């Protein structure tokens, strides 16, 4: 059984909500939302369940001492979790792990476990994560012809050893973010939506496999080996870089120049350019261009504004310039997405 429990002091009542073991194996696509209220926090999980796969969009909103608001999990699910932290920080513990699993900023990870008993909580007032829960037979079938990273991971899964695909979390790429946004804003229904979600799940597995293989190639490490390039960046600089990324997101319509951004975050231009690429896998300019297109895709799917309005809102010089950039990135014109 899968139990969700609210952490409580002696004066607080523990609340539980239970789901059947085969929650990720319904015959049709099941969509549901679970909400848990704490005295000083709200936890919401939007869920899509089908064919051995569960997609969970988890959102925390907290006040006060975040670590007093915990979700306790206890189930015997045998499979793989792929985590994509979109914002904030989340921590997870498991009796099978030697240390807590902490994700911060915008990161992704892959792990296999034969069971889960532990807690999760938000380390920030707000955090959002998308989790793919894929049972063992489904994961092995989907990744049978995968790259070196997936082949080595499969060997460990066959041995039944709980592990992370990599010791270090990797930065969430713009391409991964775009796929996740397509999932969260999917306008299909029924069988078509199930097919769409299945295809996007495969796409994310491919992108993660490529990212972990690339990490190994750069570092010359074993599967669970050495630090990434981002590990060379100091903690204080990483905080500045994450602030720079957030600042760019909030000023996407009129992004600052590189010298302006360097002054805002307190880094010199050379260091900002070099370390931004090491930590996030893209240049400052590349991030702005990709985030604009991701934002444009979301606005098009919402269908509340015209293509021209979206183009000018996001700072494109003309709808034609926007259309060219969008089609180059997604292979579709903005109008075809907007229909």
pTM score, two decimals? 0.66
Tell me the domain boundaries of the chain: 2-225, 230-338
pLDDT digits (tens, 9 = 90+) for 300-327: 877 888 999 999 888 888 989 999 988 8
pLDDT at 333: 85
pLDDT at 289: 87
pLDDT at 68: 64
CATH code: domain 230-338 is: 1.10.10.60
Residues of the chain below pLDDT 70 = 1-25, 64-68, 98, 215-231, 338-339
Give the Cα separation of 150 and 156 in Å (integer). 10
pLDDT at 31: 93
Distant-in-sequence, close-in-space partners of 71: CB < 8 Å, separation ≥ 6: 4, 5, 6, 36, 43, 119, 120, 121
pLDDT at 221: 39
Q: 2-225: which CATH topology?
A: Jelly Rolls (2.60.120)
């Amino acid at each position: 059984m899968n139990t969700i429990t609210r952490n409580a002091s002696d004066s607080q009542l523990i609340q539980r909500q239970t789901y059947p073991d085969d929650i990720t194996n319904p015959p049709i696509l099941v969509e549901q939302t679970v909400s848990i209220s704490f005295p000083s926090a709200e936890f919401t999980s939007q869920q899509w369940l089908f064919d051995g796969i569960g997609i969970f969009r988890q959102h925390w909103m907290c006040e006060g001492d975040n670590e007093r608001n915990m979700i306790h999990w206890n189930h015997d699910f045998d499979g793989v979790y792929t985590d994509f932290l979109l914002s904030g920080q989340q921590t997870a513990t498991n009796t099978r792990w030697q240390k807590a699993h902490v994700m911060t900023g915008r990161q992704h990870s892959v792990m296999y476990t034969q069971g889960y008993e532990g807690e999760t909580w938000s380390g920030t007032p707000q955090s959002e994560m998308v989790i793919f829960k894929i049972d063992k037979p489904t994961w092995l079938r989907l990744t049978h012809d995968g790259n070196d990273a997936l082949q080595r991971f499969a060997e460990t899964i066959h041995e039944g050893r709980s592990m992370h695909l990599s010791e270090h979390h990797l930065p969430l790429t713009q391409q991964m973010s775009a796929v996740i946004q397509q999932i969260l804003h999917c306008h299909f229904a029924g069988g078509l939506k199930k097919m769409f979600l299945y295809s996007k799940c495969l796409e994310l597995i491919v992108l993660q496999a490529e990212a972990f293989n690339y990490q190994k190639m750069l570092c010359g490490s074993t599967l669970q080996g050495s630090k990434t390039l981002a590990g060379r960046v100091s903690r204080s600089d990483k905080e500045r870089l994450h602030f720079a990324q957030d600042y760019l997101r909030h000023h996407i319509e009129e992004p600052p120049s590189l010298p302006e951004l360097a002054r805002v975050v307190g880094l010199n231009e050379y260091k900002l350019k070099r370390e931004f690429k090491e930590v996030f896998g893209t240049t400052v300019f590349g991030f702005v261009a990709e985030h604009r297109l991701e934002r444009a895709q979301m606005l098009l799917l919402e269908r509340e504004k015209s293509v021209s309005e979206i183009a000018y809102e996001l700072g494109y010089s003309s709808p034609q310039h926007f259309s060219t950039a969008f089609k180059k990135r997604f292979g579709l014109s903005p109008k075809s997405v907007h229909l």
